Amino acid sequence: MTIPGSELEIHETETPVEDDSVVSVAGRSPTQLAIARFRADKLSMISFVLSVFIVLCAIAAPILVLLGVLHPNDFHQELLSDDGVAPAGRFGGISWDHPFGVDPGAGRDLLARLMLAITSSLTIALTGTIFTVIIGAVLGIVAGFSGGFVDAVIGRIIDLTLSFPQTLMLLALSGPVVVMIRQDVADFPGFGFFTNPDLANGAFVIVILAAFGWPPVARVVRGQVLSIREREFIEAARLLGASRRRLYFKEVLPNVWAPVLVYVTLLVPAYISAEAAFNFLGVGIKPPTPTLGNILADSVSYTSADPMYFFLPGALLALIVVVFNLVGDGARDALDPKSHR
Amino acid sequence: MLAYVIRRVFAGVIMLIVMSIVTFALFFASPIDQASFICGKNCSAAQKAQTAAAMGYDDSFANQWVDFAKGVVQGRDYPDDPELRKTAPETIVHCDAPCLGYSRERGDTVTNLIKDTFPVSFSLAISAFVLWIVGGVLLGVTAALKKGTIIDRGLVGLSLVAYAFPTFFVGLVLYKFVAIKWGLTDIPRYTSIAEGGVGGWLSSLTLPAITLAVFFMAAYVRMTRSYVIESFQEDYVRTARSKGLRERTVTFKHALRAALTPIVTMAGLDFAGLMGGAIITESVFNYPGMGKLAVRASSDFDLPTTVGLVVLLAAFVIVANIIVDLLYAVIDPRVRLG
């Protein structure tokens, strides 16, 4: 069994390849065409603008807290009704000072808490996506390019990973792994910040998302690589003596970014929703640090006293997920002109 | 065909062995000391060592795994102590094959715990499955056939929104508002067929099954729609049309048949995953299924139950994979098993 590319090692010391001498041709690149298609789609553009707004909110929230504009942790017992639980006034205590009302039991400003929640939920979802895509892309490229034994081994690892019940592993590992992150990982120099419970809990959620989320990415990338590796420019790079790493990351990777990008835009909303579900099961960042999940989990106890506190975060979460999904769908349609919708 | 089945089953068994080793390794590396959990806080070092020995926790990782594997094949005794068997046989719990472990917290074998909870999870999975397959595929096909019309747009939009609400949120709305606050249905409480007859059983499953089905239905509407649309553009559909076949025959015998193949795959795997308990739905409605068992096991650090569940669920998925691949060959004439 010969592994394609195994003969490369011999030439590795030869002169590096110059491949940046691509002649620019008049006309539009596939990327420009895709962007034009995306912009022509109204729904995609609207959701893109909304998603940018959501991301800006997420970035602005911690800054506004530092500047003293938002007060997510100030208690306002005076805004609660006489029973000390439900907010006084209609619709969860909406007022000019608190446009989204206050949370039951504590009277904290819900707008501030929700904005900060978007920050933490998006951070977890994005970091989880980045790790998922890195693992998936690297293993997919290696599997697709190496073929043979390596491909078979990675294929089995994918099957193995997919056969694990993810939610059950999440629950079962949360105790021990969070302890491990807070004690053992935090002992490494430079990782001391993991003693912070929020960071340790968040890191655990990210680990689980990435550890069980990468197989589909690897499969998609592998499929792409299988068709790319027979193309002439790979042959050319190989003949010029490109190293294997160069082939993987400089020649192949730029050509698989389109499906990866589509996956990224669809993973982010899936992970936002997963983070919320994890919190409902008691895993993830704990209050008082707000996340969309732990606000919703907290609101479960107040469904009859303050339904607004339950429906508002739920609707916000659904809105964010819909918007990101629409951007993902738009990106897929724009990048793959063959898809008919 | 038979050779293929044998090869797949063999590969599946190997996969299960590897998977159980990985599971053991993951939990074995856990910093939580099982023995001190079982024997409590005020436990002397000697007592702790005794407990660990009785439960086999003092053994090496490899030996513990071998004991587990032996238990699955031939059953085992807890504690496995020949001395004790002579002096006090009544304290020994025998666990028949396939033995998945013994839970100290529940005071029962994991196999029995699963036997008690499996019917609940299975009922939930099968009722949700029927809902989402019938609803998802029918609506998906409708949307595809009416592509571009207001019906199509409405269905796609609705499924997008339904897909965005997390399962626990849908479940809580149904449970806390529809059932409790507004009193539109009875408060859901699991009723087995033996207790309430088929009618009582079905009505006790309605709300949780809807909860579980909403998410999958939304996904299946979109998936079915795109497969069917894609399938109508295939050459064999044009061939069928140019042969002069009636449009109905073209739609049902040619286009849909090919479009449904990948859906069978997805449905089989999704169902297998659910059979092992819908953790979130069971938690919301407080149904005593395997999902609930898993939640309790992990909050009590009940490792034997957790490991047993993980291995069993993986077995479900592996078996479902084999069945689905065989079905594939039956449905899609292009697929040849080799």
Query: CA B95, CA B113: separation in Å to the nearest integer?
Result: 12
Q: Say if CB A163 and CB B310 are below 8 A apart.
A: no
Structure tokens at B264: 């069978």
Chain-centroid distance, C-alpha A196: 22
Query: Checking DSSP bridges between strand B93-95 and strand B76-78, what pairing results, if any?
Result: antiparallel
CA dist B159 to A41, A176, A298, B114, B140, Å?
Answer: 20, 38, 27, 34, 10
User: Picking from A82-96, A97-111, B190-204, B279-293, which range would have the lowest pLDDT averaged per residue?
Assistant: A82-96
Structure tokens at B238: 């044009």
| Residue of B165, B276, B294 with shortest CB distance to A171 | B294
pLDDT range class, residue A125, cuts 50, 70, 90: very high
pLDDT at A14 (0 to 100): 41
Does residue B78 sit in helix, strand or coil?
strand
Beta bridge partners, B95, equal B76
Query: Where are chain B's structural domains?
Result: 45-99, 112-331
Rounded (5°) CA angle B71-B72-B75: 45
Number of residues written out for chain B: 338
Average pLDDT value for chain B: 82
Question: Is A16's pLDDT higher than 70?
Answer: no
B169 and A167 in contact by Cβ < 8 A?
A: no
Structure tokens at B139: 């609506």
Shortest Cα distance, chain B CAs vs residue A99, angstroms: 23
Q: Tell me which H or E stretch contains A158.
A: helix A148-163
Structure tokens at B263: 């859906």
Query: Where are chain A's structural domains?
Result: 60-335
Residue keyed to tokens 């209050």: A287
Tens-of-pLDDT digits for all 338 residues of chain B? 788 888 888 888 898 888 888 888 887 766 666 665 566 656 677 776 776 666 666 667 777 788 778 777 777 776 666 666 667 666 677 777 777 777 777 778 888 888 888 989 999 999 999 999 999 999 998 998 888 889 888 998 899 888 888 888 898 888 888 888 787 777 778 877 777 778 888 888 889 999 999 989 998 998 888 888 888 888 888 888 898 888 888 888 888 887 888 888 888 888 888 887 788 999 889 889 899 998 888 888 788 888 888 888 888 888 888 888 888 777 776 766 65
Q: Say if CB B124 and CB B282 are below 8 A apart.
A: yes
Average pLDDT value for chain A: 80
Cα torsion through B158, B162, B165, B167, rounded to 10:
170
List chain B residues with CB under 8 Å of A162.
317
pLDDT at A271 (0 to 100): 92
ipTM comes to 0.82
B31 and A310 in contact by Cβ < 8 A?
A: no
Classify the C-alpha dihedral B19-B22-B24-B26 as positive or negative: negative
DSSP secondary structure code for residue B173 in this structure: I
CATH superfamily assigned to domain A60-335: MetI-like (1.10.3720.10)
What is the CATH number assigned to the segment(s) B112-331?
Answer: 1.10.3720.10
List chain A residues with CB under 8 Å of B22.
160
Complete DSSP assignment for B222-285: HHHHHHHHHHHTSHHHHHHHHTT--HHHIIIIIIHHHHHHHHHHHHHHHHHHHHT--HHHHHHH
Structure tokens at B122: 């299975």
DSSP secondary structure code for residue A224 in this structure: H
Size of interface A-B (CB pairs under 8 A): 124
Number of residues written out for chain A: 341
